């Protein structure tokens, strides 16, 4: 299966109700902040509308898939009735298996199984919505019925009696979320994770190992370890042995959903300002459902994940933080107070290269580990406790403040902590990228930002192919050149009211920035940016959110690369 690349609608994602930090500066800084706030107010309606649309796509998921099956049912009936004679119709029906012949018990059973799979996925999505304090599919249904009653039975609720339905493209993004949930948080996705994540985690632990501080007690030698280091397997075992008693270990998700009158959720593992330099900080851009970020954090590192896909972030927030908020909604597969488990059918939307209905609708259990287990660090001194945060936004908007001359205005508003003015300036020791570099509209700008967000000697760790998500649109064609010659325009102003610009009007500007590069060219950019290549491996076979039972499989020949940042004086 090809990697889906459902980008966010805007450049920067904030959920409604996002807290803006009060600017404590004066003079020009305060004036600049005030101007920035005015600009942000212009985007607020767009941000809120996008968030509402994403929530709508979650709550309308089952309705779309059930309706799609109704359409297929009608198509079968038309196909059978279109034959020129009854004998032909009878012959066609005789060819079909009973499960494809309308009005048979096998056919009804097939439709029932498809319906159940859609409801099963909707149940997971409804829990994610409830966790974010949003209306679920059942809430929406009750509200529509109530609206119909108030309107005397006319319409279907909503303004003017019309439901604001999302598009098929919106629903396909939710299908991609479910596949990513299976990839990151199910036992079936372990093979894919092993190929990519194990290499990245191995590089982090080799080149940026957790150290003990002088005078600390460790192994009876008069020192204590600065960090709680645990392997993923040991964490999984502890989660299986029994539930945690600590219900206050939320990961801080900086999409800042409003909860119980609070703006956002603070992490319970925040590192104090005086000891920040003792903690190894790892950035995981494009973290998606958050498993790689969580795995690194579970080994004792402070981790900051980020992603620009709001559909992904809603599910990620629920997986990482949801165990405290599911018990009062409805029961799940988990009977304990540990992380709730759900059965989902992530490949139910697939209709091509399907071996059987059983393989298409099969379930996976998520999550396969208790995410809260990584936060049980009672033996760790608070001064050295790592932190785990997730940010919502486009990479450059989150981290361009590290660039020379960057003011960090966007980043400051992503935090509601009192010490955010300090925290957003802290550089990282590692940037860990899994299937991320090729999502850049402009790869040189991403690499430049990564260089400056790293401490001297910091690591850039990359694994992935070069799909270049913004490639394939916005190219110059001969007709554009002819129009330029006829109009007397030069090559330099073809995007200024030209035929090229008119033809691509409405196309996301990131398509117009994107350039495809070979790995050799990317490697040269990494070196020229100021990195030294420490490890490089090419042609690694890897899949991405693939269906192991599908009749078609896409295998990438991925690159794994570890690079170390040289002194910043060489590239400023």
- More reliable by pLDDT, 175 or 218: 175
User: For 200-223, what is the mean pLDDT?
Assistant: 66
Neighbouring CB atoms inside 10 A of 249's CB total 20
Residue 336, SS3 per DSSP: coil
Alpha helices in 249-305 (DSSP H): 291-298
H/E stretch holding 559 reads: strand 556-565
20 pLDDT tier (thresholds 50, 70, 90): very low
Alpha helices in 132-157 (DSSP H): 137-150
In 130-266, the DSSP E strands lie at 252-253, 258-259, 262-263
pLDDT above 90: residue 271: no
How high is the pLDDT of residue 84? Answer: 60
Q: What is the DSSP letter of 19?
A: P
HSE (side-chain half, CA atoms, 13 Å) at 367:
26
The 10s digit of each residue's pLDDT in 221-264 is: 332 333 332 333 333 333 333 333 343 344 444 433 333 332 33
Which residue(s) pair with 463 in the sheet?
Answer: 434, 560
Distance CA 239, CA 367 (A): 11
User: For 33-56, what is the mean pLDDT?
Assistant: 76
Closest C-alpha among 242, 191, 169, 139 to residue 6: 169
- More reliable by pLDDT, 4 or 103: 103
HSE (side-chain half, CA atoms, 13 Å) at 16:
13
Closest C-alpha among 70, 38, 317, 46 to residue 177: 317
DSSP string covering 101-121: STTSHHHHHHHHHHHHHHHHH
Distance CA 320, CA 252 (A): 9
Task: Judge contact between 170 and 8, C-beta under 8 A.
Answer: no
120 pLDDT tier (thresholds 50, 70, 90): very high
74-79: list long-range contacts, CB under 8 Å, 24+ apart: 76/100, 76/102, 77/102
The 10s digit of each residue's pLDDT in 290-322 is: 999 999 999 999 999 999 999 999 999 999 998
Task: Judge contact between 361 and 121, C-beta under 8 A.
Answer: no
Task: Judge contact between 89 and 80, C-beta under 8 A.
Answer: yes
Look-up: residue for tokens 């402070």?
Answer: 302
373 pLDDT tier (thresholds 50, 70, 90): confident
User: For 274-288, what is the mean pLDDT?
Assistant: 78
How high is the pLDDT of residue 40? Answer: 62
In 367-427, the DSSP E strands lie at 388-392
- More reliable by pLDDT, 91 or 441: 441
User: For 451-476, what is the mean pLDDT?
Assistant: 89
The 10s digit of each residue's pLDDT in 507-559 is: 767 656 778 999 999 999 999 999 999 999 999 999 999 999 999 999 999 99
Residue 145 token pair = 């019925």
Task: Judge contact between 432 and 463, C-beta under 8 A.
Answer: no
């Amino acid at each position: 299966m090809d990697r889906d690349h459902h980008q966010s609608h805007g450049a920067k994602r904030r959920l409604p109700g996002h807290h803006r930090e009060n600017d404590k500066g004066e003079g020009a800084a305060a004036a600049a902040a005030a101007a920035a706030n005015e600009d942000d107010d212009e985007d607020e309606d767009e941000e809120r509308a996008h968030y509402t649309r994403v929530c709508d796509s979650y709550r309308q998921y089952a309705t779309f898939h059930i309706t799609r099956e109704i359409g297929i049912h009608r198509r079968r009936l038309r196909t059978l009735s279109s034959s020129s004679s009854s004998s032909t119709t009878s012959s066609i029906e005789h060819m079909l298996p009973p499960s494809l012949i309308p009005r048979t018990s096998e056919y009804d059973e097939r439709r029932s199984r498809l319906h159940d799979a859609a409801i099963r996925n909707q149940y997971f999505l409804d829990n994610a919505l409830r966790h974010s304090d949003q209306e679920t599919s059942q809430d929406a249904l009750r509200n529509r019925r109530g609206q119909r009653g108030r309107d005397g039975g006319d319409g279907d609720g909503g303004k003017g009696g019309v439901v604001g339905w999302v598009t098929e493209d919106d629903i396909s993004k939710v299908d991609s979320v479910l596949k990513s949930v299976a990839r990151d948080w199910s036992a079936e996705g372990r093979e894919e994770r092993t190929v990519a994540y194990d290499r990245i985690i191995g590089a982090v632990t080799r080149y940026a190992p957790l150290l003990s501080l002088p005078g600390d007690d460790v192994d009876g030698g008069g020192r204590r370890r600065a960090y709680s280091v645990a392997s993923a397997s040991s964490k999984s075992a502890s989660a299986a042995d029994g539930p945690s008693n600590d219900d206050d270990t939320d990961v801080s998700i900086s999409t800042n959903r409003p909860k119980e009158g609070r703006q956002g959720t603070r992490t319970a593992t925040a590192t104090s300002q005086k000891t920040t330099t003792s903690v190894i900080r790892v950035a995981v851009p494009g973290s998606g459902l958050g498993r790689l970020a969580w795995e690194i954090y579970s080994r004792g590192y402070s981790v900051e994940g980020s992603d620009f896909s709001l559909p992904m972030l809603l599910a990620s927030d629920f997986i990482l933080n949801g165990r405290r908020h599911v018990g009062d909604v409805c029961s799940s597969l988990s009977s304990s107070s540990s992380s709730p488990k759900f059965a989902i059918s992530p490949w139910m939307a697939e209709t091509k290269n399907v071996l059987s209905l059983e393989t298409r609708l099969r379930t996976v259990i998520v999550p396969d580990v208790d995410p809260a287990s990584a936060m049980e660090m009672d033996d760790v001194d608070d001064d050295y406790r790592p932190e785990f945060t997730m940010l919502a936004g486009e990479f450059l908007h989150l981290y361009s403040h590290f660039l020379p001359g960057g003011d960090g205005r966007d980043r400051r508003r992503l935090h509601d902590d009192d010490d955010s003015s300090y925290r957003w300036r802290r550089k990282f020791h590692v940037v860990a990228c899994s299937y991320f570099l090729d999502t850049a509209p402009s790869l040189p700008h991403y690499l430049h930002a990564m260089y400056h967000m790293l401490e001297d000697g910091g690591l850039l760790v990359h694994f992935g192919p070069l799909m270049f998500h913004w490639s394939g649109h916005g190219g110059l064609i001969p007709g554009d050149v002819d129009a330029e010659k006829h109009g007397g325009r030069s090559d330099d102003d073809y995007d200024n009211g030209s035929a090229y610009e008119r033809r691509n009007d409405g196309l996301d500007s990131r398509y117009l920035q994107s350039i495809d590069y070979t790995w050799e060219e990317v490697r040269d950019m990494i070196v020229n940016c100021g990195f030294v290549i420490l490890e490089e491996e090419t042609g690694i076979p890897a899949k991405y959110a693939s269906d192991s039972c599908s009749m078609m499989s896409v295998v990438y020949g991925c690159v794994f690369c570890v690079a170390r940042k040289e002194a910043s004086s060489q590239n400023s």
